[in-house]
Amino acid sequence: MHNSSTPDGGSTADGSSTADALGLVADELHALVDAVRAADQAPFQRALTLFTDADRVFVHGAGRSGLALRMTAMRLMHLGLRVHVVGAVTTPAIGRGDVLLVASGSGTTGGIVQAARTAADVGARVLAVSTTDDSPLAAVADATLVLPAATKTDRSGTASAQYAGSLFEQGVALLGDALFHALWQRSGRSADELWPRHANLE
């Protein structure tokens, strides 16, 4: 438990300061990162290959997981990939040669699993991010990237002391940045070469 401080330097009784909360989040993220780095790296290498070989990348997630994936979509676009967010009015049909990147902590989210099945049925590849590789989503995916975190329905406090699926959703955002960074380094392009793709109608 992190010690929390009041404005005069004293400690609060319940450890509920923002500094304590930040410490907790940081500790849980450090543990998650360490676990991912110690895990079998084959699925993560497969993910990089899927992106490199993709004609187009589609991203799809519900709730906060979906918001985290949108950050990844933006970075992949900056890298020069053709990227679409499922649900946008301009998103075309997915097809053979494309990759669908999805996130579901439980691997059972109905809409996400169905989208993965639809993508697989038309010959697209499916890359899943989840807390488990034993789920209906993982069964459809070409590769599943496992983040050891609590699902949103796990309120036991065992996998994470944070509320609902917060650690998983934070992990999705970090993993997206890590995948982007690895792809960027492999590309050999400079930051100046990526910069012109940033939005100029903000």
Catalytic residue ranges: 169
Structure tokens at 17: 């300061």
Q: Distance between CA 45 and CA 67 in Å, rounded? A: 24
Structure tokens at 24: 């907790």
Nearest to 103 by CA among 159, 141, 158: 141
Q: Return the ∠ at Cα 29 (arms to 35 and 71), rounded to 5°.
A: 105
Q: Distance between CA 134 and CA 88 in Å, rounded? A: 30
Q: Distance between CA 131 and CA 149 in Å, rounded? A: 6
Q: Distance between CA 15 and CA 2 in Å, rounded? A: 7
Dihedral Cα 183, 184, 188, 189, nearest 10 deg = 140
